[in-house]
Structure 1
Amino acid sequence: MQCRMGCGACCIAPSISSPIPGMPAGKAAGERCVQLDSDNLCRLFGQPQRPDVCAQFDASEDVCGEHREQALWLLTELEKATG
């Protein structure tokens, strides 16, 4: 599965404990990453500054579902279960 352009769910729903440029302490679950632009595209995609946890994320139907709203729900539920 390929990432849906403009989804951004993985940049909002989960917490990220590693530093992100502009967010040195990482981000809380549900907080929008500062690197997510107004079109929900990552400004760091493909850049060496992109955190490893972000680069290692693979889109899959079990976490991304069939549409953006489902991805936000699935990733939020996963965060609750593991956070």
Structure 2
Amino acid sequence: MQCRAGCGACCIAPSISSPIPGMPNGKAAGERCVQLDENNLCQLFGHPDRPQVCQQFDADYSVCGDDRGQALILLTRLEQLTG
């Protein structure tokens, strides 16, 4: 599965404990990453400063569902189960 351009759910729903440029302490679950632009595109995509956890994320139907709304729900549930 390919990431949906403009989704951004993986940049909002999960917590990220590693530093992100502009967020030296990472981010809390449900908090919008500062690197997510107004079109819900990651400004660090393909950049070496992008956190390893973000680089390793693969879009998959089990966490992305059919649309952005489902992705937010599924990723939030996963965060609650693992966070």
| TM-score of the two chains, using structure 1 as the length reference | 1.00
Aligned counterpart, 1:58: 58
Q: Report percent identity of matched pairs.
A: 77
Cα distance in structure 2, aligned partners of 1:56 and 1:81: 19
Runs of 4+, deviation exceeding 6 Å: none
Aligned counterpart, 1:3: 3
Aligned counterpart, 1:34: 34
Residues 32-77 of structure 1: CA deviation (Å, up to 9, x unaligned)? 0000000000000000000000000000000000000000000000
Residues 17-43 of structure 1: CA deviation (Å, up to 9, x unaligned)? 000000000000000000000000000
| TM-score of the two chains, using structure 2 as the length reference | 1.00
Aligned counterpart, 2:72: 72
Paired residues in the alignment total 83
Residue aligned with 1:55, SS:
helix
Cα distance in structure 1, aligned partners of 2:68 and 2:32: 14
Cα distance in structure 1, aligned partners of 2:28 and 2:72: 14
Residue aligned with 2:54, SS:
helix
Which runs of 5 or more structure 1 residues have no equivalent in the other structure?
none
